[in-house]
Structure 1
Amino acid sequence: MTAMPAILNLSRRGFAGALGLAAASFVLGIPREGRAAEAEDAPDAARFGAMLTIDGAGLVRLIVPSSELGQGTQEALARMVAEELECDWAALEVELPWADPAFANPFSRKQMTANSTSVMGYYTAMRTLGAATRMMLTRAAAQRLGADEGELVVSAGTISHSASGRSLGFGEVARAASSLPVPAEVPLKPVSEFRIIGSASVRKDLLPKVNGSAEFGIDVREEGMLVGVPVLAPHPHATFDLAGLDDARARPGVRAVVPVTGGVVVVADRFWRAKSAAEAITLTVTSSPIAGLDDDTIRSRLREAFTTIEPRVFPEFEKGSGFPGRPIMPDKPAVEAAFAQADRVLEAEYEVPFLAHATLEPICCAARMDATSLFVRGPLQDPESARALGARLSGVPFEDVRVELTYVGGGFGRKWGTDFVGIAIEAAKGVPGQLVKTIWPREQDMAFDQYRPAFIARSRAALAKDGRVAALKSAVAGQSIMAYHGRGDILGDMADPMSAGKLVYDAYAEPLRYAESHRVDMGVPVGFWRSVSLSQNTFFMESFIDEIALETRQDPLQLRLRLLDGHPRITPVLTRAAEMIGLDAPRPEGTGRGIALAYTEANFCAVGIEVALSGENLSLTRIACACDCGLMIDPVSVEGQISGGIVFGLQAALWGEVHFADGAPTAQNFSDYRLPMMMDVPPIEVALMPGSDQPGNVGEASTPAVAPALANAIVDAGGPRIRALPISRTLSI
């Protein structure tokens, strides 16, 4: 993933393909689309690859290829380029991208912002872009100054020749440099020489977000723009009857009521006019894939799945064989033998509900369509798929579909979906030639989400007389995200990683391990939710580890450390988090402390929580987190991501729950889906412990460990073992 890409010695046109973005196994060609062509044709700007231009004044403009959801990837990717380019950081401007193969993430080979892969995936390519551009600027300066390249020093956008005392700014040589051959080899800096990567500075997106100039999806506007508000059935494949259409059409400002997938969109000249007209329409469902579904039915179907649906095994993956590695199927006979020979078997059942994404910026997207083109602009995590969808829905050739990105006011996986993009495009088809911005009112946003699936897990541990854990086995029942989105076949007989990934921690080296999944076709629209499988499986695994410790009269921390067997990166963060929360320190009566860990292949995180319990009243007093995400491009953003992820995890652990009744979700607004307020969040202390000189993923690391750490702390305070989330089902918060 981080191998040095081969940089080809190409023509100036080919330079875009070579420098734009590349992974070890491929080099992308760069189509001259949209703004890329416009930027290249600017009179005083020289283009270096698909993303970088330098004008005559030395101003560097970088098109950042990924979406900016507040997580700081725009800042991080700009720092990677600037570090190697040696430009003046203050003279670097960043712009948001559009859908273009030029911007594909080398890790996924797709233009997307998901799974916390932006920093890891773009790291080498962006640094190479900066380094190669610097080398070309240096070569052009050497020719101008009549000096050897080795005699020149590049710093803060200036190329200096100390022997003669002369210097040239980037802008003076940029055009000449952009026509030079691309270097065949592009050496990168050693980590020890970094000045911008890892430093603390004000983020470049801070000022526009403070002064209001940053454009989020809900901010998109142009002269004559129309606004659409949807009226949707509780499932995209439901059938329905509509009443009140004539009333809606007759309302002031209404231009059209357009049929779309799953309902209609009322299009008007203003949002409130469209919303009030939409409220005049009554949608009555006549059939639905989730007809009759309610909370009791969901729970009973999940439990029945353990005996009625054949399980699918989830393998572990061989380390060091590439990503995700070669699958290794568990030794089922050995696991069964361990249980047969166990001194005792501990069993527990855990449950988590459907969860909404609850992004503070509700679902929105703008689209304009005419006979020959389609334009889409909005807060998207998957612009590549949005563009392909636009071509299919509109009939417009792919090359004539333009998809532009705005800032994203919270995504968490919801804006990875393209259902809302499709509805925006369908609405635009109803009023050709005009931009239509669809805005889902909060009621629509909450009730027509693609939810994190509900799951029930059954965990078993084979225990020896000395308390040793001989085997761990866990089975989970729930929906497959991949199957819902029509990609279940690519999994073959394997369990969906979005359901079963990390169901049993492979970092716990000592016991035999076995994980399996019962795929339940519930029909509820489901999708990716922050930390995906870890969002539920960390709760199952890390709660069960504490239950094993209590059953065998072992210290929960020491049991984890023994099971980790000296894991070089998890052990330090676990130990540090325990120290930060005072896990072994004396505590007043009614006070409890708990700990839990979560990890991926490149991020290792432990969360400790202290609570106070008085009867059924729970309060949180402290949270500590230690995290190793490797090299940190922007430590301030990393700490913010971790703290924000903890708050996100608190919501899910304490209150997060979407109820169903009569075949529809009942959540309407934040009154039905409570978010933490400032007074709900205790002090959070974060320790950053980089254990690698390569960057890891950080956006989802801290979220999943919150629920089990809380559950473990509640038991430590003398409270009940929480096996079903949210905790507010059992205690008052």
Structure 2
Amino acid sequence: MSRVLNLSRREMLHGLGAGVLALGFGFPARAQGGAGFGAMIAIAPDGAVHFTCPSSEMGQGTQEALARLIAEELDCDWARMQVLLPWADRAFINPGMGKQMTANSATTVGYFLPLRRAGAAARAMLIQAGAARWGVAADQISTQAGEVIHAASGRRLTYGALAQDAARLPVPGDVALKSPADFRLIGGKSPRKDLAAKVTGRAEFGVDVMRPDMLVGALALAPHPRAKVEAANLAQVKAMSGVVAVVPVDGGYAVLASRFWTAKKAAEALKLTVLSSPTAGVDDKAIDAALIRAFAEKTPLPFPDFDFSTMRPRAGGGDKPAVLAALAAAPRRVEAEYDVPYLAHAAMEPLNCSAILADGQLTLRGPMQSPEDVRALAAKMAGLPLDRVRVEVTFLGGGFGRKWATDFPIPAMQAAMAVPGRWVKLIWTRENDLAMDQFRPAYRVKSVAGIGADGALVAIHSRIAGQSINTYHGRRGFPGMADPTAAGLLIYGCYAPVMKLMEFHEADLAIPVGFWRSVTMSQNAFFAESFIDEVARAAGRDPYAYRRDLLAGEPRIARALDKAAAMIGWDRPKAKGVGRGIALTYNEGHVCAQAVEVRVNKRKLAIRRIVAAFDCGVMVDPAGVESQISGGIIFGLQAALWGGVSFAEGRPAISNFNDVRLPGLADVPPIEVALIPSGAKPGNAGEAGTPPIAPALANAIADAGAGRVRRLPLSQRFELENA
């Protein structure tokens, strides 16, 4: 993306009235759907800048970061800038992903340059309009806080006063961007734009949507979204007081009423008979058996030695005969087997969506990470052209990947189609939300390493067994290559020179699975960084120093590792029962190294400190980045300590937060985050803090002399106590 294009620049004029400047910016043509353009910036007559944020805001601060990009180059009055929520539209695609979706921590990365260019183009048009108004050269004009200034004459005009004139000008094809030395918002501090609305309750989350004469729905669901059920007492429930309709939907029935409590009690009264279910008879023993069979019976698919977590992975390596020969010839071998369980998302706001079918148009409104995909699916299911479907995004009360899925708007749409002309808000209870989650898959890994006579790491072969997220969702991968959501970075490519072989054995399980915060690395950081720790100890080396040697060609990663080691006091003497562990995760856009200090006394585990060193290049909002890393650590800590979903009789054995142990304030140890400045291009931060905490904690426990943890969660072996 190298140009700001003069296309659809008046699309938003009708929204804010006369005298409004609306600016669209262009995206490169893509294979699917062609080029998309849209107006995100509008300047009202009073000078207020309205910015429609193209991504979903679920607490991670995208509204704040993207608004800063626009305001920095536009040079507007930041205090008066208003940020609006988006709707599904190709105008809002993320250029780095080619879609309108908020996932993979790709928001700042994808929009960093396009939004800055859009802001700079708008500023250039305002300067040109001011110069024409005063009859002076444009290079004599400057801007400040939403005003165009001619210093020689002392004249000033607000952006609002010039908006109408500026709107008539062509959008410049090339614009100069500010030097980082001139940034006043990027990298600075200010209260978040969404903070006041959330504190006062004015922010609209999905569950807050209210419309006149709205119906509210509750669900009675099958044990699996693709199960077939029937209700034996359907007529009786339809006749219950206050019930307006009982609608068959995917996975069960939606009961509609004027009040949620009425709908909920009626839904609970439905007596469902399961006719068929893909998970019939599945329990923990069946899952374990499926993983064993996968290793024994499924031909493994190889995965190249590249970094899946980048949007454009770099492939290489994977010579199986050479790796196996190197392992066979190695003077010493290290073998280990690891397990992680299924994990629930458990976002604070349960799934919900509102919808209406009226006058031949279907409108959906709710907390969605992928509105473009929801819109396409809704159009297909309703048999409507795409331009007759509108999908509006509210604030999200947490997502973690769950609200990236498109399953939960479907019942709302189906219910709305059954009562045309009326809004329907379908609220999933916490029990519905957890029972029908798209879980992070359970995985088992078998790793073998060969160590030379000098202790050097020669080769690693790691095999992983579990479900394929891509298979469950019907997405085709590359022929002959393992699903990257299972096998990516199972062995770190940054550790060199080491021969590597990664393979995936796909298990025959039909449990609903989906993306969970940090996707592949949520499990593979634990496997990779635990095993490298074991290899180091088997070689008689310090685990930090061993990693450091393997990172000789990766100065950026090594710098973060060094910082984390220094922060935890790696070389300081330790008392008996005290251990320190270190681990890292990385991709093209970031490096996150974490270290943990623990005290272990038999089954009692006390986490004394957690430190993190983080480098994601240019940071638009450093305070937000620090919060993302701290929050990601706590999210990953919960999974490492208590996470895990058991299954019995084809259903997940969890119902509400009483079955999901969450950390309280007393459970969270001191967390220190060091942000490492670098000149690298902006990278991702939202998921980076989650993966390293589990291996760092397991490595610290081993260092304390309490044995090697190879199975999560840790609550199976330890009881957490305050440090």
Separation in structure 1 between the aligned mates of residue 663 and residue 311 of structure 2, nearest angstrom:
36
Retained in 2: the 8 A contact 1:247–1:280?
no
Matched, 1:257 2:246: yes
Separation in structure 1 between the aligned mates of residue 344 and residue 550 of structure 2, nearest angstrom:
34
Question: Which of 630, 648, 660 is the matching residue for 2:617?
Answer: 630
Corresponding residue for 2:235? 246
Separation in structure 1 between the aligned mates of residue 560 and residue 147 of structure 2, nearest angstrom:
42
SS of 2:657's partner is: coil
Matched, 1:705 2:692: yes
Deviation (angstroms), 1:15: 11
Separation in structure 1 between the aligned mates of residue 536 and residue 181 of structure 2, nearest angstrom:
43
Retained in 2: the 8 A contact 1:657–1:726?
yes
Question: Which of 545, 549, 566 is the matching residue for 1:558?
Answer: 545
Separation in structure 1 between the aligned mates of residue 606 and residue 6 of structure 2, nearest angstrom:
62
Matched, 1:493 2:470: no
Could you list the per-position Cα deviations for residues 608-662 of structure 1 after superposition, in whole angstroms to 9, with x for gaps in the alignment? Answer: 1111212101121111011001110001110110000000001110011100011
Could you list the per-position Cα deviations for residues 234-255 of structure 1 after superposition, in whole angstroms to 9, with x for gaps in the alignment? Answer: 1122122323323322333211
Corresponding residue for 2:394? 406
Question: Which of 332, 355, 368 is the matching residue for 1:367?
Answer: 355
Equivalent position amino acid for 1:728 in 2: S
Corresponding residue for 2:716? 729
Separation in structure 2 between the aligned mates of residue 565 and residue 372 of structure 1, nearest angstrom:
63
Question: Which of 187, 191, 197 is the matching residue for 2:180?
Answer: 191
Equivalent position amino acid for 1:528 in 2: F
CA separation of 1:512 and 1:329: change in aligned 2, threshold 3 A: closer
Matched, 1:341 2:329: yes
SS of 1:99's partner is: coil
Question: Which of 453, 477, 483 is the matching residue for 2:471?
Answer: 483
Retained in 2: the 8 A contact 1:342–1:463?
yes
Corresponding residue for 1:670? 657
Retained in 2: the 8 A contact 1:383–1:403?
yes
Separation in structure 2 between the aligned mates of residue 257 and residue 408 of structure 1, nearest angstrom:
28
Separation in structure 1 between the aligned mates of residue 394 and residue 78 of structure 2, nearest angstrom:
23
Moved more, 119-128 or 329-338: 329-338
Corresponding residue for 2:210? 221
Equivalent position amino acid for 2:615 in 1: D
Retained in 1: the 8 A contact 2:6–2:24?
no
CA separation of 1:421 and 1:10: change in aligned 2, threshold 3 A: closer
Separation in structure 1 between the aligned mates of residue 624 and residue 69 of structure 2, nearest angstrom:
15
Matched, 1:20 2:24: yes
Corresponding residue for 2:16? none
Corresponding residue for 2:143? 154
What percent of counterpart residues are identical?
53
Separation in structure 2 between the aligned mates of residue 274 and residue 513 of structure 1, nearest angstrom:
56
Deviation (angstroms), 1:197: 0.4
Question: Which of 412, 415, 427 is the matching residue for 2:403?
Answer: 415
Corresponding residue for 2:2? 5
SS of 1:327's partner is: coil
Corresponding residue for 1:55? 44
Deviation (angstroms), 1:663: 1.1
Corresponding residue for 1:425? 413
Separation in structure 2 between the aligned mates of residue 429 and residue 92 of structure 1, nearest angstrom:
38
Corresponding residue for 2:385? 397
Corresponding residue for 2:590? 603
Moved more, 208-217 or 716-725: 716-725
Question: Which of 78, 84, 87 is the matching residue for 1:89?
Answer: 78
CA separation of 1:15 and 1:215: change in aligned 2, threshold 3 A: closer
Separation in structure 2 between the aligned mates of residue 556 and residue 208 of structure 1, nearest angstrom:
47
Retained in 2: the 8 A contact 1:318–1:328?
no
Could you list the per-position Cα deviations for residues 518-563 of structure 1 after superposition, in whole angstroms to 9, with x for gaps in the alignment? Answer: 1113001100000001000000000001111111110000000011
**TM-score, scaled relative to structure 1:** 0.94
Matched, 1:544 2:531: yes
Separation in structure 1 between the aligned mates of residue 26 and residue 490 of structure 2, nearest angstrom:
34
CA separation of 1:240 and 1:132: change in aligned 2, threshold 3 A: same
Equivalent position amino acid for 1:337 in 2: A
SS of 2:489's partner is: coil
Corresponding residue for 2:64? 75
Retained in 2: the 8 A contact 1:14–1:29?
no
SS of 2:172's partner is: coil
Deviation (angstroms), 1:24: 5.2
Deviation (angstroms), 1:323: 4.6
Matched, 1:331 2:335: no
Equivalent position amino acid for 1:413 in 2: G
SS of 2:333's partner is: strand
Deviation (angstroms), 1:390: 0.9
Deviation (angstroms), 1:233: 0.8
Moved more, 21-30 or 234-243: 21-30
Separation in structure 2 between the aligned mates of residue 668 and residue 182 of structure 1, nearest angstrom:
55
Deviation (angstroms), 1:318: 8.8
Separation in structure 1 between the aligned mates of residue 155 and residue 327 of structure 2, nearest angstrom:
78
Retained in 1: the 8 A contact 2:355–2:412?
yes
Separation in structure 1 between the aligned mates of residue 329 and residue 500 of structure 2, nearest angstrom:
15
Deviation (angstroms), 1:718: 1.7
Retained in 1: the 8 A contact 2:330–2:458?
yes
Question: Which of 579, 586, 596 is the matching residue for 2:573?
Answer: 586
Question: Which of 87, 91, 96 is the matching residue for 1:98?
Answer: 87
SS of 2:589's partner is: coil
Question: Which of 432, 438, 441 is the matching residue for 2:426?
Answer: 438
Matched, 1:519 2:497: no
- How large is the Cα RMSD of the aligned pairs? 1.9
Extract unaligned runs of 5+ from structure 1. 32-48
CA separation of 1:24 and 1:299: change in aligned 2, threshold 3 A: same
Retained in 1: the 8 A contact 2:477–2:483?
no
Retained in 2: the 8 A contact 1:461–1:472?
yes
Deviation (angstroms), 1:7: 2.9
Separation in structure 2 between the aligned mates of residue 675 and residue 692 of structure 1, nearest angstrom:
37
Retained in 1: the 8 A contact 2:305–2:501?
no
Corresponding residue for 2:261? 272
Retained in 1: the 8 A contact 2:29–2:35?
no
Separation in structure 2 between the aligned mates of residue 318 and residue 499 of structure 1, nearest angstrom:
13
Equivalent position amino acid for 1:167 in 2: R
Retained in 2: the 8 A contact 1:21–1:104?
no
Retained in 1: the 8 A contact 2:579–2:705?
yes
User: What does 1:609-620 correspond to in 2, within 5 Å?
Assistant: 609-620=596-607
Separation in structure 2 between the aligned mates of residue 279 and residue 11 of structure 1, nearest angstrom:
50
Deviation (angstroms), 1:693: 4.0
Corresponding residue for 1:716? 703
Retained in 2: the 8 A contact 1:348–1:460?
yes
SS of 2:679's partner is: coil
Retained in 2: the 8 A contact 1:23–1:107?
no
Matched, 1:286 2:290: no
SS of 1:51's partner is: strand
Deviation (angstroms), 1:473: 1.2
Could you list the per-position Cα deviations for residues 111-166 of structure 1 after superposition, in whole angstroms to 9, with x for gaps in the alignment? Answer: 00000000000111100110000000000000001111111111111111111111
**TM-score, scaled relative to structure 2:** 0.96
Retained in 2: the 8 A contact 1:355–1:657?
yes
Moved more, 402-411 or 277-286: 277-286
Corresponding residue for 1:37? none
Equivalent position amino acid for 2:235 in 1: D
CA separation of 1:24 and 1:694: change in aligned 2, threshold 3 A: farther
Corresponding residue for 2:105? 116
Deviation (angstroms), 1:83: 0.4
Retained in 2: the 8 A contact 1:22–1:28?
no
Retained in 2: the 8 A contact 1:260–1:427?
yes
Equivalent position amino acid for 2:55 in 1: S
